[in-house]
Structure 1
Amino acid sequence: MNKTKLLIASTLKPIDDSRMFEKFGVSLAKTNEYEVNIIGFSSKNTLTHDSIHFYSHGPFGRMSFDRITSPSKIFKTYLKVKPQIIICNTHELLIVTSIYRILFGGRIIYDIRENYVKNIQNTNVFTPILRPLLAAYVRAKELITKPFFDGFILAERIYSKQLGFVPAHKSIVIENKFMPFEVVESESKANSENIVLLYSGTISASNGIFEAIEITDQLHQIDSSIRLRIIGYCALKKDLLKLQEAIKAKEYIELIGGDFLVPHQQIIQEIKEANFGFVLKKPNNGINDDKILTRLFEYSANKLPMLLLNNPTWVKFCDEFNSAIPINPNHFDPNKTLALMKDSSFYTQGDTKSSLWESEESRFLTFIAKFSKFKI
């Protein structure tokens, strides 16, 4: 049987990115109706899959000339693969993906993982003078290329309200829920002599890494069994240097990664072994208030209790499972928090299966099947 050639493409996400590979890629491949191809940032993780082909690029910095030229290089991969369906995973590929559709046909889908315009406007990645210009450029690309796209996938429910240019009849919300390669019941973490706190995922000031360190310091002063494990990638050099300086004399804080991409399965293993996970992503003028973060799904699916920024949306999510201790880093009481950590019972209610990818998978496959000559 001839399979539909499908390509998932990104500039700054690694080829083993959990959404592109573990969720979209593996789910599509197991139907046996698609030849799945993934373009992403080069990764140290060696990947093999019978029905998935990987095309890596990079490495390059976020503020480099190579990043500017990467779409044209990725377009050459489009020409090599000749996909019938392209899932464009970032705004940077909107133009070349639209050009491919004009020249060669096929169906193209925009997987919107972030509200890129709001991110540019409200984070410190770019200088203040550049932010309005870059935000306008990104929104212009989205509006100009919109007619060429056959479908839109939204990673957050709130994007349905925030992104007015997305046609409701062409879009679907597919949340970034947790996809285990094998579902394993969480083991009890009460046997460890240490209390291991975990900060996982993208490492940055805006994600609360320095608040996590400060909270750990205060808890460690009261109880020397407190440990912090930081695992992930830090894209901003200034944040990485500040982080390295902040932890260099603290034997109770361990950094895994920082200057390199860490395989997602290694991150998940750390989640399984930790006692508490930090969720301290900053509001950034409200752009994160209504988002359900990936780590919320990952932590709850693995029944990891959380030290959670007191965000109403996140508190409501965690209250369903009784899975978190809400905190305010600016008014933090280490004695009270430590007592709650030691004396509270977590995950005493609710069903954490709702945080698993399987609750999204069938809807995703049905949506993609509309653009294929095959039906699922």
Structure 2
Amino acid sequence: MEKPKIAIASVLKPLQDARAFYRLGLSLRETNKYHLNIIGFSLKNPRLEEDISYFKLFDQERSTWKRFFVNIKFLGILKFIEPKVLIVTTYELLPAAVLMKFFYKYKLIYDLQENYILNVKQNKTLPKWKQILAVLWIGLIEKSSKPFVDHYIFAEACYKEEFPSITDFTVLENKFFDEIKSVSPVKFEPNQKIIFLISGTLTEVYGVVEAIKWFVEILKVYSNFQLKIVGHYPIPSYGKELKELASTVPQICLEVSENPMDYQQILEAYKTCDIVLLPYYQLSSISPKIPSKMYECLALGKPYIYTPNKNWKRMADRYQSGLGFEFRDVENAVLNLDDFLKQTFYSERPGDEVKFDRKSFIRLIEDQF
């Protein structure tokens, strides 16, 4: 008997993305009830797996022009798959998803991972006129698609307040997808060589440049410390700036790309680091969220430094997992780090509360049949 087909589709994310594949996809695969179809970006052909098929929307440069016509290719993929349930993870794919729903009668779920309009307004990546057009375009797509969406998934709890008109939703935060590591208390030794890590999507509002300048100040006292930066930069000019800054500091190791990276590469970077840096700007598009990196740190037992945020502090204090201070305060960089290094971290072991809620997601999908 053929298993029901479920498709999970994104535009900017790699095929084996942290959320679409590792959280949503692997949760469904463990049920052995469905055939999964993962749609996204890839530069290479993914390995063959039982009950999982991969479809590439992009396999090279993701230009604005190509992204504009992405729905045409998406239509063809949906026609080939004929899914029973379609999970769309970005507004860009909603037009094709809604259109094909009339033909194939599938259930449409919108996994709302970002407040895209708020991001466009605050993330400083577009000229003002393009920003206005983008806000209007996103608003038009999301509002006109709303009557055809059977259910929403909120990737952040704060979306309950940010999207008050949406009532049919399930909150599934970006918690860790796998088993929680057996975490022991962490205490840094005097004269220990420290490796810092910044990973993920590298943009201006992530605060990577500020973290590099902070690290350069640290090197004046701790010249043997290292900073590893692993991730992809969606804006080429920003990637160029990072490379120019890092090129003058031999203690900085860059593993960056203009294309999205498979999540496994990010996880590998955690294995060799001692402290994770979370230098995010405190904008209203960022500060109410709990970064997925924080859940990764908790699950893997990695201490972290974050920009001051009351919600993040509450979580860090619960597990004694990290401290917050301002990365722009380079005058006190060494003093702040010295205070950090004197602490004992993870005296309280994280439990299943930091794991992705697979049961709720599986129940949601079962309710669609």
| Deviation readout 1:70-114 (Å, 9 max, x if unpaired) | 111011000001111100110001111000111221111000000
What is the Cα deviation at residue 45 of structure 1?
Answer: 7.3
Contact 2:6 2:34 in 1 (8 A): yes
d(CA) in 2 for partners of 1:143, 1:306: 38
Q: Which position in structure 1 is the counterpart of 2:169?
A: 171
Q: CA RMSD in A?
A: 1.9
**Length-normalised TM-score, structure 1:** 0.92
Q: Are the counterparts in 2 of residues 189 and 275 from structure 1 also a CA contact under 8 Å?
A: no
Residues 288-347 of structure 1, C-alpha deviations (whole Å, 9 max, x = no match) = 111011111111111111111001121112111111121112324123223223211011
Aligned to 2:78: 78
Q: Tell me the equivalent position of 1:256.
A: 255
Aligned-pair distance for 1:265? 1.6
1:195-215: CA deviation from partner (whole Å, max 9, x where unpaired): 001001111221011011011
Is there any run of 5+ residues in structure 1 with no aligned partner, and where? none
CA distance in 2 between partners of 1:259 and 1:84 (Å): 34
Q: Secondary structure at the match of 2:352?
A: helix
Q: Are the counterparts in 1 of residues 202 and 234 from structure 2 also a CA contact under 8 Å?
A: yes
How far apart, CA to CA, are the structure 1 residues paired with 2:258 and 2:96?
30
Partner of 1:98: 98
Q: 8 Å contact 2:195–2:275 — kept in the other structure?
A: yes
Determine the structure 2 residue equivalent to 1:353. Answer: 352
- Give the CA deviation at 1:184: 4.5
For 1:156 and 1:300, the matched residues in 2 are separated by: 17
CA distance, structure 2, for counterparts of residue 243 and residue 45 of structure 1:
29
Matches within 5 A, 1:131-142: 131-142=131-142
Looking at structure 2, the residues matched to 175 and 34 of structure 1 have their Cα atoms a distance apart, in angstroms, of: 23
Residue 201 of structure 2 is matched in structure 1 by 202
Per mean C-alpha deviation after superposition, the further-off stretch among 275-284 and 324-333 is 324-333
How many Å apart are 1:190 and its aligned residue?
5.5
CA distance in 2, matches of 1:212, 1:59: 32
State the match for 2:367 in structure 1.
370
**What percentage of residue pairs aligned between the two structures are identical?**
26
Secondary structure of 2:6's aligned partner: strand
Aligned length: 366
What SS does structure 2 have at the residue aligned with 1:199? strand
The 3 A distance-change label for structure 1 pair 45 and 23 is: farther
Contact 1:60 1:67 (8 Å CA) reproduced: no
Q: Deviations over 1:250-270 (max 9, x none)?
A: 110000123343331221122
Residues 355, 45 of structure 1: alpha-carbon distance in 2 compared, 3 angstrom cutoff: farther
State the Cα distance separating 1:132 from its structure 2 match.
Answer: 2.0
Matched residue type, 2:170: I
Secondary structure of the corresponding residue to residue 32 of structure 1: coil
What is the CA–CA distance in structure 1 between the aligned matches of 2:221 and 2:129, rounded to whole Å? 45
8 Å contact kept, 1:15–1:43: no
Q: Do the aligned residues in 2 keep the contact of 1:309 with 1:326 (CA within 8 Å)?
A: yes
Moved more, 207-216 or 43-52: 43-52
Cα deviations across residues 147-176 of structure 1 (Å, max 9, x unaligned)? 11111000000001101332x2x2100011
Alignment of 1:39-78 (within 5 A): 39-44=39-44, 46-59=46-59, 63-78=63-78
Deviates more, 1:82-91 or 1:123-132: 123-132
Change (3 A) 1:260 1:60: closer
Q: Is the 8 A contact 2:188 2:342 kept in 1?
A: no
SS of the equivalent of 1:267 reads: helix
Q: Which residue of 1 aligns with 2:273?
A: 274
Of 121-130 and 42-51, more deviation after overlay is shown by: 42-51
Residues 57 and 250 (structure 1 numbering): CA distance in 2 closer, same or farther, change over 3 Å?
same
Give secondary structure in 1 for the equivalent of 2:231: strand
Name the CA distance, whole Å, in 1 between partners of 2:299 and 2:80.
39
Deviation at 1:186, TM superposition (A): 5.5
Aligned-residue offset at 1:126: 1.7
